[in-house]
Amino acid sequence: MNKVHVRSKDQVVVISGPEGIKGKQGKVLSVDTKNGRVVVEGVAYITKHQKSRRQGQPGGIFQKERSIDASNVMVICPKCGKGTRVSHRIMEVTRDDGTKKMKSVRVCKRCQADID
């Protein structure tokens, strides 16, 4: 499994790719860590020609969202609103029973704001 810097439901901006999708923003719908690809809402589509299978199911031409490489997107920082690289900071969190736990939090490289 490869490490991917984006997670599902992150707001991202496309920084590289064909002229039609470069610069678009959207929410990550799914992440494929095995292949390092993400599906971003409203960014890239494929056209699928489907034949009618049953009497009740019509055929036709459908558009389906396609995956793009994870290296072509940047996470949008909720504080500064720009595409940013992601770093990690280790925080100490106290649980309800009083024990302490170390937790990794994603951080904006520009303004050091927490992304998670």
- Give residue-wise pLDDT tens across range 15-49: 998 888 899 999 999 999 999 999 999 999 999 99
The pLDDT tens digits for 50-108 are 998 888 888 899 999 999 999 999 999 999 999 999 999 999 999 889 899 999 999 99
DSSP 41: T
Q: How confident is the model at residue 3, as a pLDDT? A: 84
The amino acid present at 74, given as its one-letter code, is: M
Q: How confident is the model at residue 67, as a pLDDT? A: 95
Q: How confident is the model at residue 20, as a pLDDT? A: 84
- Whether the per-residue pLDDT at 109 is higher than 70: the answer is yes
How far apart CA 75 and CA 31 sit, in angstroms, is 13
Q: What sign does the CA torsion over 13, 18, 19, 20 have?
A: negative
- Whether the per-residue pLDDT at 5 is higher than 70: the answer is yes
Are 13 and 74 contacting, i.e. CB atoms less than 8 angstroms apart? yes
- Whether the per-residue pLDDT at 116 is higher than 70: the answer is yes
- Whether the per-residue pLDDT at 1 is higher than 90: the answer is no
